[in-house]
Each structure stands twice: as structure tokens, then as C-alpha cells.
Amino acid sequence: MTSSGILSYLTFVYFLAFVFYLLMMVMGRQVPGRLATYTLLGSFATHTAAIILRWQESYAAGMGRAPFSNLYESLIFFAWTLSLLYLIVEWRTRNKSAGAFITPLIFLAMAYASFSPNISSKIMPLIPALKSNWLITHVITCFLGYAAFGLSFGFSLMYLFKGGDSGDRTASFLRLIPARGILEELNYQMVVIGFLMLTLGIITGSVWAHSAWGSYWSWDPKETWSLITWFVYAAVIHSRLVRGWKGKKIIILCIVGFACVLFTYFGVNYLAGLHSYATN
């Protein structure tokens, strides 16, 4: 089977993981939680293998390039970084409740890549502008950043779901979600990782643009939107220093930040610019 065949099947496995996480939340039992983690781990391992396979396929087709060069491949890689980062967080925090919020994101990215009629999964050769050693570093840093912001978005949603600390709501769905204070801390950690990675992504992108287009910054829509995202998360990080700004305000700013990430990633394709090869 080809890599894209395997990856389209994986879409369903990720959905299955989501169902298990949801069952765990609703039933409040450990068994579906364990199943969810195993499903996700298995899916992630296969996903990794499929990306390596795709790399090999490109060599076999005589193109020999990293599988990070169009919208399809970036979505697949985005889903991969999301699973990787989520699995690390689950392992470090020993709490599985975020799984119910992150696996849908992974599923959506995979489904969009595999089943959208506008996205081709064909392995295409690299156009001259993409032939650079910066391609791999740029894509990896950007997508690790996007994934961290995706997790921050998940924690922000959980924060909003959790409701106020006062009302002792005992629905098991909410009981498994950590306390708001912990969610804020986790969210902040994700924002910090994302911010560092986004900064690295913008830096590698600038250095690359300098050698490909002759200018490290040309206010191309994608560049500009990544800077907008950077501004928003810089505001998030600074707002922790303002007294009385903890809590909901920051959470909302994080959701705005993730909306900017999504626009940087997808929305920009509707605006003309230099990054047009990422559209299909």
C-alpha cells in the first residue's frame, strides 16, 4: 500500500481514539482511557512509518525530497506533530482528559488532507524556490509551533468547559478535567513552546527568504500573518504580568491566537502571495 493509502485509513483510527477518549470522559472509567492511549500510540507509530515511507517513495520516484512540500503533506505532518506533542503531555501530566479535545483536531487535519477533493496526495517534485536546506527546519519548527498552539487551544476550551471553580458540578465529563489553575499553567506552557517554535519558524523562514527572494522580510501575507500570530501570543505572555488579568481574558486571547494560526495556515491561501505553493 502507498503511504497516502495508509494515511487515509489512519484517519479512522484517529477517530476511534477520539471515541475512546470521549467514552472515558462520559463513563468515567479507566478501560476506555487505556484503550484510547493505545489506539493513539499505535496510530502515531503507523503515522511515523507512513511519513518515512512517503520519503522513500519520493526517492523511488527519482525526486528525493522531504515530505513537507505541499498542503497535503503539511496537513499530514501537522497531525503528526499534534499527536506527538499530545502524547508527551499525556505522559508527563498523567491526565488523559485533553485527549478528547485534541484527537478531533488530529482527525480533522487527517480527514481534510485525505478526503478533500481540492487536495492532491500525489508526490510532486520540488520547484526551485523550495530546494533549500531550510525547508526541513522551517517546516518542522513552524508545525511544532502550530501543534503547541493547537494544544493550547484544547486547554483553553477545557478551561471554558470546566466553568467556574465555585459551582461543584459533578458530571464525570467535567470531573476528569483538571482544575482551572492547572489548565492555565498547562496552557501557558504550551504557549511558551509554541511561541519559541513560531519565533524559530519565522527566523528560519526569513533567512530562507533572504536567499530565495532576496529579502528577509517582504510583508507577504503569510509572513505578515505569522507576525500577527506572534504579536497575539506575545500579548498573551505579557498579560500574565498584568495584575487581575489571569483567567478568562488570557484564555480568550489564546483562542484568538489559535484562530490566527489557522488563518496563517489556511486563510492566507485565499490572499495572493509568495507562499502560493502551499495551496495544493
Partner 1 sequence: MEETINERKANPVLKFFGSVKLAIVLLILLAVFSVAGTMIPQKEGAMEFIQGLNPATFNLLDFFGLFDLYHAGWFRLLIGLLALNLVVCSIERFPSAWRRVKARPSVDRSQPFENLPDTLVISTDSGYEEALRISQNLLKKRFRTLRSERKKDRVFFLAEKGSFSHLGVFLVHLSVLVILIGALAGSFFGFEGFVKIAEGETVDSIMPRSGNQSFSPGFEIRCDKFTVEFYDNGSPREYRSAVTFLVGGKEVEKRDILVNHPVTFNGITFYQSTYEKVAGRGLRIKLSKEGGKEDLKPIDAEIGQQIQLPGKEGFFQVLDIRHMGTAPAALVSVETGKGEPTRFWIFENFELIRSRLPEQMIKSPRFDPSAFKPYTFSLLGVQERYATGLQANQDPGVPIVWAGFILIVLGFIVTFFTSQQFVRVLVEKKNNKTVIMVTGSASRNRPALDRDLQRLVEDIRSLLAA
The DSSP call for residue 214 is: S
Give the residue from 113, 196, 200, 93 showing the smallest Cα distance to 154: 93
Query: Is the Cβ of residue 108 or residue 228 nearer to partner 1 in the bound state?
Result: 228
Query: Is the Cβ of residue 175 or residue 249 nearer to partner 1 in the bound state?
Result: 249
Shortest gap between Cβ of 200 and partner 1 (angstroms)?
7
- How many Å apart are CA 53 and CA 74, to the nearest integer? 15
- How many Å apart are CA 134 and CA 206, to the nearest integer? 10
Query: Is the Cβ of residue 174 or residue 252 nearer to partner 1 in the bound state?
Result: 252
Shortest gap between Cβ of 65 and partner 1 (angstroms)?
12
Contact 47, 10 (CB under 8 A): yes
Shortest gap between Cβ of 110 and partner 1 (angstroms)?
26
Conformational region of residue 119, where left means phi above 0, alpha means psi within -120 to 50, and beta covers everything else? beta
Shortest gap between Cβ of 73 and partner 1 (angstroms)?
16
One-letter amino acid for residue 221 of the chain: P
Query: Is the Cβ of residue 84 or residue 259 nearer to partner 1 in the bound state?
Result: 259
CA dihedral angle for residue 37, residue 40, residue 45, residue 51, rounded to 10 degrees: -160
Shortest gap between Cβ of 15 and partner 1 (angstroms)?
34
If DSSP codes are grouped into helix, strand and coil, which group holds residue 70? coil
- How many Å apart are CA 250 and CA 236, to the nearest integer? 6
- How many Å apart are CA 230 and CA 140, to the nearest integer? 17
Shortest gap between Cβ of 268 and partner 1 (angstroms)?
8
- How many Å apart are CA 260 and CA 233, to the nearest integer? 10
Residues of the shown chain interacting with partner 1 in the complex, contacts defined by CB under 8 A: 124-125, 127-129, 131-132, 192, 195-196, 199-200, 203, 206-208, 210-217, 219, 221, 224-225, 227-228, 231-232, 234-235, 238-239, 241-242, 260, 268, 271-272
